[in-house]
Chains A and B, each alone.
Chain A
C-alpha cells in the first residue's frame, strides 16, 4: 500500500501549489455539501430505505440460515472443522482450569487453592524483577494488594489468567505473522483486510456463534479475546521489522548471513522495542475484552461489573472497574519498563549481570518458600477480609450518582436537548433522510475529493454492501453519530494534546486520567452518563468520545512534542506569541499526527457503536444487541455487524488516503 502514495510537486513552487490544491479541495467539499443540501430540500424523506424495528428482509434471513447451519454442524459434531474446534476448546479449558486450581479455585477436598495470596504476590514480584527491573515492583506489588483489598482477589487472578493465556497465544501466532507480513507483500495484502475485519467487527456479533462452537466459558472467551487482541501485535511487529535500517541489512548481507540468521541476529533484536510496544497494545486490547467476554460466562472481573449493573449497584460495578484499571496500568507500566530494560540489557556489562543473577537466585528461593508457606498455612492462603477498601469507594460512587441525578441532570439534559435539536438532528436529517442515491452520491464525492480514486473505489464497494444488507438507513444514522463523535474527539484531543505536548507537567497530570478512561469498562460509566443525559443518541456520542479521546490525545501530544526544537526556537526568536506558536507552527507541523489521530479516533468511536446501542443510539448498535439477545433477530444482527465493518473500512480508507495526499502536498520540514 505504500506504493500508491501520491508524489508531491517539484521543489520551488511546491509550497504555493500545495496550498492551492488544499484550498481547491476545501472549495470542492463546500460545493458538494451545498448541492447536497439543495437536492435534499427538494427530495427529503423519499427513498430513505428506512425499515421498521422488527422488519426482517431476505438478506437478514439468509444470515440467519447461515447461523443456523453453524449451530447444527456444531451440535452434530461430524464436521472435522468443528471436531478440531472441540479439541482446541478442551485443551484451552484444561489449561485454564489447571491454572485456576493453582490460584483461585479450591479442588475438593482442599478448602483453598493450591497457592495462596502470599505465594502469588511473591511470584508476581519475582517475575516482575526478572523482566522489568526492581522499579516496577513499586507498581506491581501494591496493585496485587489492591486487588485483594478492593474485594476482588479471585476475580482479578481469573482475569489475569485469561488475559495471560490469550496474550501468550496472540504473541506466538502474531509475531511470526508480523515477520511474514514485513517480508512478503503478498502475505501483507492477504492479511491486511483480515486484520481490518478482526478489529472492526463488533465482538457481540461473534460471541454467540463462538460460544456454540467452543462451548460457553473460558475457551470461547479466550478465542473472542484472541480475535480482538492479535491484530495490534501483528501490525506493529511488521512495522518494526520493516523499519530496520536497510543499510544495516545490506551490511549483514555482504557478510554472507542466511535469511534466518539475519532475522535472529539483526531484524528481531533491532525491532525488539517496537515489538514490545505491540505486546503492550495487545495486552491492553485483551484486557478490554474482559467485560464483553463475561457475557458468555468468562471468569474474571467482567462478572462483578455486569453483576453490579443488573442489580442496580453502580458502586459495586465501579469498584470492579477500578480493579481492571489498576490491572491495565500495572501491565502497561511493566511492559513499557520491560522494553526499556530490553534495550539496556543488550548494552549492559558483565558486573551488572552477575549481581542480577544473584538477586534472581535468592529471590527465587524466597518465592518458592512463600509459595510453600501459602500452600500450607491458612493465614497466607485466602486474602485477608479486611481492611475492605471496596465498600467505602462503592458508597462514595453511589452518593455521587445520587447527587448527579438530583442536582445536575436538569442542566445537563438541557445541554443534550439543545445540541440534539440544533446540530445532530439537522445533520442526521441530511444524511439519513435524503434519498439513498443522493446520500451515496454525496459520500462518494466526499471520498474522491478527500482521498482520491482509491478512496472512491473503497467507498463505492462499502456503500453497495450497505445497500444490499438492507440496513442503509440505520447505517446512515450510525454514520452521523460516529462522525459527530469523532469531531468532538478531535476538538478535545487537540486542546489536551497541544497542552500535554507543550508542558511536561500537564502531560504527567493528564496521562493517568487518559489511561483510566481508556481501560475502565464502558459499562461502568454508562450509568453516570445515562443519569446526566438520559437514553438517547447524545449519550452514545459521549460514550464514544470518552473512549476515543485518550488514544487521539496521546497521538497528538506525541506529534506536538516531535516538532523539531530548532523550528520552535526559530519561531521564538522571531517573536511569535504562544498562540501564534500553536496555530502557525506546532499544529501545522504536527499535521501528520493530527490526521493519524483522526483515523484512530474514528475507529475507536466506531468500536463503541454497540455500547451506544445500549444507551439509546438505536440503529446498527441496537440491531447487534437485539441479534445477540433474540433468536428471531440473529440474522439482522449479523448483517448489522457486517455493516459496521463496511463503515469502518470506508472511513479508514478515506482518512488514510486523504492523509497521504495532504502529507505529500505539504513541503517536508
Chain B
C-alpha cells in the first residue's frame, strides 16, 4: 500500500513538472499545406563522390525545389551503383557522368533502364600531372618525351628501380599500364587506391618539394588550392584507341553528360526538363565547389548563393 501511495505522489510531482515545462515555450504548428502542394513529387538524385558533382546536384536540386516544389532526395552512391539504381527505381538522375561507355552499353542500349539527357557543358580532362614546384624547377618535364630523363627523380621503394607513376581513383578508367609500355617509358604504375590518396600525395609533394607524377583529372576542387601542371602526352586520336593494349596517346576529353532513369524521363515531371536543360561552365561549377570544399558551406547554401548571382542562366534552364 505504502508503495502505491508514494508512486502516485511521485507521478503527480512529475506531471506537475511536465505541465510547467509545457507552458514555457512556443507550440509546434504544422506547416502551411498550400506551399508544399505540387505536381513534381520526389526526385531521387544520385550524389557521386566528388565535389564538382555535388555542385551540379545541389544547384539543380535547389532550382527544382524553389521553382517546382519538388522534394529532392539525395542518394550518396558510386557511379556503378547509381546506374544500377535506375533499374531498381532508387535513382532518377545522374547529373555528371564521365563517359562510362560500358554502363551506357549495358543500361542505355541494353536493358533500356537509363536514358542520356544531354551535356552539362563541362569538359572532363584526364591525364598525368606534376605539382607546380616541379613545373617551375624542370620546365621541360611537361613534355612526355623528357619523362625518361627525369625517371630517377620519381623513384620510390614501391617502383622497382623505375620512376613511379601514381595511379589513383579505382572509379576511373586508366590506360596507364598500356601507355607506359607503348611509349617506352621507364616507369612503373603504382596504385594509390583512392582520390584522397592522390590529393594528399599532391599536397605533401608541393609542401615538401618532393617529386610526384600522378594520374589526375579536371575539373577538381584541388585546382583551387594547387595549380597542378599537366604533362603533354602524344595528341589524342580516335584511331589510337582501337585496341586497349596498343594505346599510345593522351586520354580523350570527356564531354560530361547527364543520365536519367527511363521511368523518370517518361513521367513528365517538370524536374526532368530542368535536368535536360541544365548547362553551365567549369568556372560556374568551380565557384560552387570552392564554397563547399574550402569554405565549408552547406551545399544547398552554396547553390543558393550561386543561383542568386546567376538568375539569367537559371532562367534559360526553365524556358
Contact B28 A375, beta carbon cutoff 8 Å: yes
- For B18, the chain A residues whose CB sits under 8 A away are 366, 369-370, 372-373
A71 adjacent to chain B (CB < 8 Å): yes
- Which of B6, B33, B113, B204 has the largest count of A CB atoms less than 10 A from its CB? B204
Contact A625 B193, beta carbon cutoff 8 Å: yes
- For B11, the chain A residues whose CB sits under 8 A away are 361-362, 365
A373-396 Cβ-contact flags toward B at 8 Å (1 or 0): 101111111000000000000000
- For A530, the chain B residues whose CB sits under 8 A away are 196-197, 200-201
Contact A376 B27, beta carbon cutoff 8 Å: yes
Binds B, one of A324-332, A561-569, A609-617: A609-617
A250 to nearest B CB, angstroms? 42
Binds B, one of A19-27, A417-425, A591-599: A417-425
Contact A629 B221, beta carbon cutoff 8 Å: no
B234 to nearest A CB, angstroms? 20
Contact B27 A378, beta carbon cutoff 8 Å: yes
Binds B, one of A233-241, A341-349, A534-542: A534-542
User: Which chain A residues numbered 312 to 327 have a C-beta less than 8 Å away from chain B?
Assistant: 312-313, 316
B26 adjacent to chain A (CB < 8 Å): yes
Binds A, one of B71-79, B131-139, B257-265, B310-318: B71-79
8 Å CB contact of A312 from B6, B76, B221, B244 = B221
Q: Which residue of B lies closest to A419 (CB)?
A: B157
Q: Which residue of B lies closest to A627 (CB)?
A: B170
Contact A378 B25, beta carbon cutoff 8 Å: yes
Per the CB 8 Å criterion, the residue count for chain A at the interface is 82
Contact B191 A365, beta carbon cutoff 8 Å: no
- For A361, the chain B residues whose CB sits under 8 A away are 7, 10-11
A208 adjacent to chain B (CB < 8 Å): yes
Q: Which residue of A lies closest to B192 (CB)?
A: A535
A53 adjacent to chain B (CB < 8 Å): yes
The secondary-structure label for the interface of chain A is helix
B238 adjacent to chain A (CB < 8 Å): no
Binds A, one of B59-67, B84-92, B277-285: B84-92
Complexed CA–CA distance, A452 and B80 (Å): 45
B19 to nearest A CB, angstroms? 8
- For B189, the chain A residues whose CB sits under 8 A away are 53
8 Å CB contact of B90 from A215, A309, A617, A622 = A215
A277-298 Cβ-contact flags toward B at 8 Å (1 or 0): 0000000000000000011110
- For A405, the chain B residues whose CB sits under 8 A away are 203-204, 207-208
Total contacts A-B at CB 8 Å:
234
User: Which chain B residues numbered 17 to 58 have a C-beta less than 8 Å away from chain A?
Assistant: 17-18, 21-22, 24-33, 36, 49-51, 54
B240 adjacent to chain A (CB < 8 Å): no
Contact B191 A526, beta carbon cutoff 8 Å: no
8 Å CB contact of A617 from B77, B157, B193, B293 = B193
8 Å CB contact of B293 from A313, A381, A616 = A313
Contact A625 B81, beta carbon cutoff 8 Å: no
- For B32, the chain A residues whose CB sits under 8 A away are 109
Q: Which residue of B lies closest to A295 (CB)?
A: B78
Contact A535 B27, beta carbon cutoff 8 Å: no
- For B208, the chain A residues whose CB sits under 8 A away are 405-406, 409-410
Complexed CA–CA distance, A410 and B75 (Å): 40
B146 adjacent to chain A (CB < 8 Å): no
A547 adjacent to chain B (CB < 8 Å): no
B39 to nearest A CB, angstroms? 15
Complexed CA–CA distance, A179 and B79 (Å): 43
B268 adjacent to chain A (CB < 8 Å): no
Known: A208-B81, A312-B199. A366 touches B17 (CB 8 A): yes
B222 adjacent to chain A (CB < 8 Å): yes
- For B267, the chain A residues whose CB sits under 8 A away are none
A112 adjacent to chain B (CB < 8 Å): yes
A160 adjacent to chain B (CB < 8 Å): no
B98 to nearest A CB, angstroms? 12
B314 to nearest A CB, angstroms? 24
A251 adjacent to chain B (CB < 8 Å): no
Known: A208-B80, A313-B293. A216 touches B193 (CB 8 A): no
Complexed CA–CA distance, A354 and B174 (Å): 70
B243 adjacent to chain A (CB < 8 Å): no
Complexed CA–CA distance, A350 and B49 (Å): 59
Contact A309 B196, beta carbon cutoff 8 Å: yes
A7 adjacent to chain B (CB < 8 Å): no
B301 adjacent to chain A (CB < 8 Å): no
A108 adjacent to chain B (CB < 8 Å): yes
Contact A631 B77, beta carbon cutoff 8 Å: no
Known: A366-B17, A417-B157, A631-B103. A312 touches B222 (CB 8 A): yes
A632 adjacent to chain B (CB < 8 Å): yes
B163-199 Cβ-contact flags toward A at 8 Å (1 or 0): 0001101110110010000000000011111111111
Complexed CA–CA distance, A168 and B283 (Å): 50
Contact B51 A310, beta carbon cutoff 8 Å: yes
Contact B30 A358, beta carbon cutoff 8 Å: no
B156 adjacent to chain A (CB < 8 Å): yes
A626 adjacent to chain B (CB < 8 Å): yes
Contact A618 B190, beta carbon cutoff 8 Å: yes
Complexed CA–CA distance, A306 and B75 (Å): 13
- For B210, the chain A residues whose CB sits under 8 A away are 413
8 Å CB contact of B51 from A217, A311, A420 = A311
Known: A362-B7, A614-B193. A369 touches B17 (CB 8 A): yes
Complexed CA–CA distance, A420 and B164 (Å): 15
- For B156, the chain A residues whose CB sits under 8 A away are 417, 536
Contact A379 B25, beta carbon cutoff 8 Å: yes
Complexed CA–CA distance, A626 and B192 (Å): 12
B111 adjacent to chain A (CB < 8 Å): yes
A628 adjacent to chain B (CB < 8 Å): yes
A258 adjacent to chain B (CB < 8 Å): no
Known: A312-B222, A631-B103. A626 touches B170 (CB 8 A): yes
Contact B177 A534, beta carbon cutoff 8 Å: no
8 Å CB contact of B196 from A358, A375, A526 = A526
Contact A534 B28, beta carbon cutoff 8 Å: no
Contact B197 A615, beta carbon cutoff 8 Å: yes
Contact B85 A216, beta carbon cutoff 8 Å: yes
Known: A71-B84, A537-B158. A312 touches B28 (CB 8 A): no
A400 adjacent to chain B (CB < 8 Å): no
- For A369, the chain B residues whose CB sits under 8 A away are 14-15, 17-18, 21
User: Which chain B residues numbered 284 to 306 have a C-beta less than 8 Å away from chain A?
Assistant: 292-293, 296
A75 adjacent to chain B (CB < 8 Å): yes
Contact A358 B10, beta carbon cutoff 8 Å: yes
Contact B21 A629, beta carbon cutoff 8 Å: no
Known: A405-B204, A530-B197, A618-B191. A110 touches B158 (CB 8 A): no
Task: Other than A215-B90, A405-B207, give 7 A-B pairs with Cβ distance below 8 A.
Answer: A208-B81, A362-B7, A362-B14, A369-B21, A409-B208, A616-B197, A630-B171
**20 A-B pairs (CB sep. < 8 Å):** A53-B167, A54-B174, A109-B36, A211-B88, A294-B76, A312-B221, A313-B296, A362-B7, A365-B15, A366-B14, A370-B18, A380-B25, A416-B157, A534-B201, A614-B170, A614-B196, A615-B193, A616-B193, A622-B170, A631-B83
Give 4 closest A-B pairs by Cβ, nearest first: A369-B18, A420-B157, A362-B10, A216-B90
